[in-house]
Amino acid sequence: MDQPNESVPEATDAGLLNDLQRNSLRITLRLAEEALQDASRHLDEAPYEGILQGMADDLTPHQKEAIAAEMGRAREILRSLRARFGLSPEVHEKSRLVLGKVIPAWEMVMEGRTPHLKGYGPVAPGLAEVLDPSIERLGDSFVRIEALARGQRRRHPRARDGA
């Protein structure tokens, strides 16, 4: 198992990567960190029953502790790699994270209208009048969320453009 080496001076091996390789490695490790953050949130999250989904807690306290400990070790390896290869952190603005979720969700919601359901079989008479107005209202809600997220934003000095 790879053990982090806290005594590694900063960016000792940065010269081994060209700019494209460094960027690729940074993105790969950033995605790994995001996966750890998401998994950590799930570990801490209480079971819930949502509207169309829920989460049951099937992990024992021992499993949660062991998973959290291993996640900590993985974060230390990420920290060591960041220092060893001189990888710069990326700061994400909340507005862009929200936009990254609601824009594709709006597209999926709109696929729920009756014209798109025809591909799964004949559409019952009257379904469009019952279903489509609610789908449109849900889509409108996502459009309003998008507009709010695009509204007045404070720019973080280290945030990158792109969402």
Domain range annotation of the chain:
14-85, 94-150
Q: Provide the pLDDT for residue 81.
A: 96
Q: Provide the pLDDT for residue 155.
A: 59
- For the cut 90, the answer to whether the pLDDT of residue 142 exceeds it is yes
Q: What is the mean pLDDT of residues 144-154?
A: 83
Contact 72, 36 (CB under 8 A): no
Q: What is the mean pLDDT of residues 75-93?
A: 94
- The strand pairing partners of 62, in sequence order, are none
Residue whose tokens read 């004949």: 122
158, with CB counted inside 10 A (0-12, 13-18, 19+), is exposed
- The strand pairing partners of 48, in sequence order, are 55
Phi, then psi, of 83 in degrees rounded to 5: -70, -45
The chain-wide mean pLDDT, for the chain, equals 89
Contact 146, 103 (CB under 8 A): yes
Q: Provide the pLDDT for residue 59.
A: 95
- For the cut 90, the answer to whether the pLDDT of residue 108 exceeds it is yes
Closest to 11 measured CA to CA, from 83, 88, 89: 83
